[in-house]
Structure 1
Amino acid sequence: MSWRPDVGLLRLALLVVAGRRFWLLPLLPLLWLLFQAGVILIGAGEGFTPSSAQGTLIGLPLTLLAVFFGIRIIAGEIDGRSLEIAYTVPGGCERVWWAKLFASALALLMSEALLAVATFIFFTPFPWSALYGAMQAALFYLVLSMAMATLFRSEAAGAMGTAAILGLNGLISGFGENQVRISPFWNPYALENADPTELFAWTLQNRIGVVLAMVAIVALAFMRANRRERMLE
């Protein structure tokens, strides 16, 4: 059975993933911008450039929110002792997982819109295409954290595993100082002196590669979740 968008189902999915006050979660990343503004006001930091918008100001807080959503998509059913119910849903348990994924993505989209407006007004103007890069990183870690939590059958273990990979990504890239083409945080706007043709090719390779990686991760996570006997042990 194919899954069709259902507003009521998406709302219920968001309630399960984020709780009754789910509407507050898209606002939480704004606290990161308040912190950055405070650092600048007390003179402990420098102002931001347009190239900083994609990663530091928008991408990072959005990714942390995505990890919270991701670990709860499937593993939340395990910790909540409701996984067996998900297997009885008409259309298959994948319908539940897809609903949660789409609901989480919509919440991330709303949060990104708020971050973008606040960043543009209070910090620095930036190319609007940078929003794709920020959302790419968030969606990648959304599905990765979902897969990690499903693999370990625990929200906490999934969060720790994802944090380890996120930290490794930061170390390899020098926390934004170096641009690694295979990284979901790839930021072409940080490479000011690169040849435009090569930069376009690198960016296209990165965007396509990350999408393919996300598809593979989702497929593996769903395969793991469909092993009913193992998941219910």
Structure 2
Amino acid sequence: MVSSEFPGLWGLVNNAGMSRGSGRNEWLTKQDFVTILDVNLLGMIEVTLSLLPLVRKARGRVVNVSSIAGRLSLTPGGYCISKYGVEAFSDSLRRELAPFGVKVAVIEPGFFKTNKTNTDRVLLNVQEVWDRAQPEIKETYGEKFLASYLKRLSEHVLSTCNENLSEVTDCMEHALTACHPRTRYSAGWDAKLLYLPMSYMPTFLVDAILTWGLPRPAKAL
């Protein structure tokens, strides 16, 4: 219930997120997907819905932290799926709340150095997923695929993460305080110069770029 004496809530920033169950989709279980969706998408929706009456009363702001992975499916597993869902929920919410004077913004960071992108943690997670995969799947991909996949993650993806987290928090601040906040914010040079432009490219070209240099499974055609 919203009290008539309480001025409401000016800003809601949904920044909770997790990433686990890395590896190929075929290596994962349904629960791997559910775990991420519960936090990154459904948890965000639950918090937002519970606080919307207060935000609407204050004619405030909702700021949802998505990812450039919500515009371009960069990794297997539930993470990108959850971020695509954040984008969709934010778009519908923005249109619904506009008549009440509430603004909704989405922040789409690139790759930043956080606990989620810690190299040792990510590589260990991939190894754990591989270890519990079915024998037939392991035979299909092969140990050489796993070794090459881990090497690519370590040398070409995780090692290039941006360390300047203020690029993300500056976007949050602008979205909360600017008279005319943007609908979407891209944080990080990789988001602005690489992944966002790629999201507008033809699908066949994006597929070629994202799969270039990836190892081939042992039983690939």
TM-score, L = length of structure 1: 0.35
Bigger radius of gyration: 2
Normalized per residue, the structure richer in strand is: 2
TM-score, normalised by the number of residues in structure 2:
0.36
